Copies of this chain bind each other. A is one copy, B any other.
């Protein structure tokens, strides 16, 4: 059920993109109880002038043109502890498997209801 939007630099290699995609799915599986095969992601590559971040950094974190924006839409109800574990698993996994800095992993969650999904066929599978 999560729908993940991943916005990255157009200089990101296909291997790095594939790793980012895998890490997010694995982190959802291991920390947030997401079912197997529930992997739906929309990636978008951007030229440098389309990804805007504060040059001075924010809250002590600094960014580079390699920033990775991850916006996840999923169902409401996950605890703060689960979200913390998810953030850590994503940043750490991306850092371990790619050249992306931990600081460059930006994550935002949008929460919705169980009935707000159709996984194809015109059906409301979670009803």
Which A residues have a C-beta under 8 Å from some C-beta of B? 3, 7, 14, 17-18, 21, 35, 37-46, 49-54, 56-59, 61, 63, 69, 71, 73, 80, 83-84, 87-92, 102-113, 115-125, 127
Contact = CB atoms under 8 A, between A and B. Distances in A.
Contact of A108 (B3, B43, B104, B105): B3
A69 B112 CA distance: 16
B3 A69 contact: yes
A57 to B, nearest CB: 7
A52 B46 contact: no
Given A40-B54, A80-B127, A110-B112, 19 more contacts: A37-B54, A37-B58, A41-B51, A42-B69, A43-B46, A43-B50, A61-B120, A83-B115, A83-B124, A84-B124, A87-B124, A90-B122, A91-B120, A91-B121, A107-B117, A108-B117, A109-B116, A111-B112, A111-B116
Nearest to A18: B49
